[in-house]
């Protein structure tokens, strides 16, 4: 796919812009990752990471960035015995995950609307 897209972009002064727009358009409909508590899911195939092709996967970044990452760090630390266990029921953890998913989707939607607005203004003001 990447090779055929690269051939489509061409080599003129607009090729970089075409590449950015098409890459964005192709990746936009991809399913967004969701946070969930493994203890509330019975189907372990849901733990699979499609692109990395690994059966069990968890994602987190620096815990200073997002609340969900703090929770993941704490849960992983507890499961490895590096800290005391978390005093939350799995249903409460799932409720937190659902809230993080809702906020992430709302943020993504606002970002998309902002990009659409910028693009429409850009097209309007260009001769």
58-111 pLDDT, tens digit each: 877 777 778 888 888 888 899 899 998 888 899 999 999 999 999 989 998 999
Instruction: Report pLDDT digits (tens) over 39-62.
Output: 898 888 888 887 788 888 887 777
- Region 114-122: what's the mean pLDDT? 87
In the chain, what are the domain boundaries? 1-29, 34-126
CA 26-1-49 angle, to 5 degrees, is 70
Q: What is the pLDDT of residue 29?
A: 62
Positive or negative, the CA dihedral 103, 109, 115, 117 is negative
């Amino acid at each position: 796919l990447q090779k055929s897209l690269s051939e489509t972009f061409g080599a003129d002064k607009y090729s970089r812009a075409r590449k950015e727009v098409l890459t964005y358009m192709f990746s936009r409909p991809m399913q967004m990752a969701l946070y969930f508590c493994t203890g509330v899911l019975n189907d372990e195939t849901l733990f699979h990471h499609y692109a990395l092709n690994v059966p069990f996967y968890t994602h987190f970044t620096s815990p200073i960035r997002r609340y969900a990452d703090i929770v993941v760090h704490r849960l992983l630390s507890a499961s490895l015995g590096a800290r005391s266990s978390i005093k939350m029921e799995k249903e409460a953890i799932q409720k937190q995950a659902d809230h993080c998913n809702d906020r992430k989707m709302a943020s993504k939607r606002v970002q998309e609307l902002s990009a659409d607005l910028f693009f429409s203004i850009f097209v309007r003001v260009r001769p």
